[in-house]
Structure 1
């Protein structure tokens, strides 16, 4: 997992992971123009795009990478350009998340009263990595688990989530929604 805020280290680690046949998750937390001001070049971003197993960004990242305002079209452009092994994910805040490879999977966010959204993205990614890569759940199930993980974080004050896997599953069970 990396966010390219130390591009040389991130690229070195990604290359090692690829060499060892391990997944690489690239989370573009900030738009490329901001990342360039922080020392990460577009060339380095594109190199990581070619190495990653899953690419995750919000709408703004997709828009800036492609010039396309429709996140679904932008996702398709990036997937076709970089052929990311397991596809691209767009986090859409209160609308949930979208995963695209050959098909598009959209999973809605949980309707909660947010107390503090700080750390929700990191919680989402932790849930996604756990559900998809560790438990080997299908994409739709993994997105829902990630959305639940982020929702639990948003109901807590502070930047850190304190939810166990069992608590996330109990929360999901209490909502009972169709996937």
Structure 2
């Protein structure tokens, strides 16, 4: 089976335990995470061979990170180790509760990955074994070099006929290197086959809003049909794109969300069921778990958009019950939830 290749920065994650605030906590729990690495872990869990491509420093923390990725069967053959000291990016997480939102603080400026530049990754060699390439909007937000390498990879993938997917993943706090997302993303996205986003991504990056709905006022259920207009506008803007997927989240509070999604192709909108997630353990990585589930579904059920969408939404609903960025659920667990078994009975 040919591989799925993902490309981006993986970071050290330092999180306060037990919903403590930063000023309260004497300890921080250390794990790893990053959009594209999270997708690779999900796919590897489902039995899809993957390779995660990134640039890491030569130090013990990066060694630890690579060991963690290998533990989850993610391919690390094309991780480049920088010759200098360098450092990994870090993000700090304070997990909110009820009316108090979670908070993320990034410390990734001038990381080893931010200094990446075209010509150092052998994309043609990497893509020889590939059928799919995935990137997110986080990568080009980090530096001019990261944006250039992302475009370099996409162009080679296009030449070789490899499916290219993108999670728009707009992060306003990351676009600091001189250009804004709306200046960089259109060229990258125009070369993609599949794009995933939410209503904020489409609005902030491309100025596209759903007709006649204010998502911020959605208290419990979101009408997926209202987002058909977003998909239609994105399709008009990016003619190469075959499928457009929107994740739908209504936040009742920090611990209770309603979660679903829709998929648009050739004028038809597919809608998932919506899950009431009433006791969220960790929502960080929820969109990445959706993307991992979606890629698995589109590979495994290439003629059944509904089945692929249902798998993605169920996979990401389960992620909200898993601590850390990685969605370490099994294929069987996702399939059981798709079938309606969400009671959480003990498995004996």
Say yes or no: does 1:109 pair with 2:242.
Answer: no
Q: Which of residues 60, 64, 79 in structure 1 aligns to 2:235? A: 79
Say yes or no: does 1:92 pair with 2:256.
Answer: no
Which of the two has greater helix per residue? 1
Q: State the alpha-carbon separation in 1 of the partners of residues 295 and 181 from structure 2.
A: 26
Structure 2's unaligned 5+ residue stretches are 1-133, 140-145, 212-226, 250-257, 343-348
What residue number does 2:310 align with?
A: 144
CA offsets per residue over residues 94-141 of structure 1, 9 Å max, x none?
A: 241121222111213323332221111111100001110244251111
**How many residues in Structure 1 have an aligned counterpart in Structure 2?**
175
Structure exhibiting the larger radius of gyration computed from Cα positions: 2
TM-score normalised to structure 1 length: 0.85
TM-score normalised to structure 2 length: 0.46
Q: State the alpha-carbon separation in 1 of the partners of residues 248 and 264 from structure 2.
A: 14
Give the secondary structure class of the aligned counterpart of 1:111.
strand
Structure 1's unaligned 5+ residue stretches are none
CA offsets per residue over residues 79-107 of structure 1, 9 Å max, x none?
A: 11212432211111224112122211121
What residue number does 2:289 align with?
A: 123
Which of the two has greater strand per residue? 2
What residue number does 1:37 align with?
A: 176
Tell whether the 8 Å contact from 1:124 to 1:150 is kept in structure 2 after alignment. Answer: yes
Give the secondary structure class of the aligned counterpart of 2:184.
helix
Deviation at 1:40, TM superposition (A): 5.7
CA-atom RMSD, angstroms? 2.2
Q: State the alpha-carbon separation in 2 of the partners of residues 172 and 74 from structure 1.
A: 26
Deviation at 1:175, TM superposition (A): 3.6
CA offsets per residue over residues 57-92 of structure 1, 9 Å max, x none?
A: 111011231342434322211111212432211111
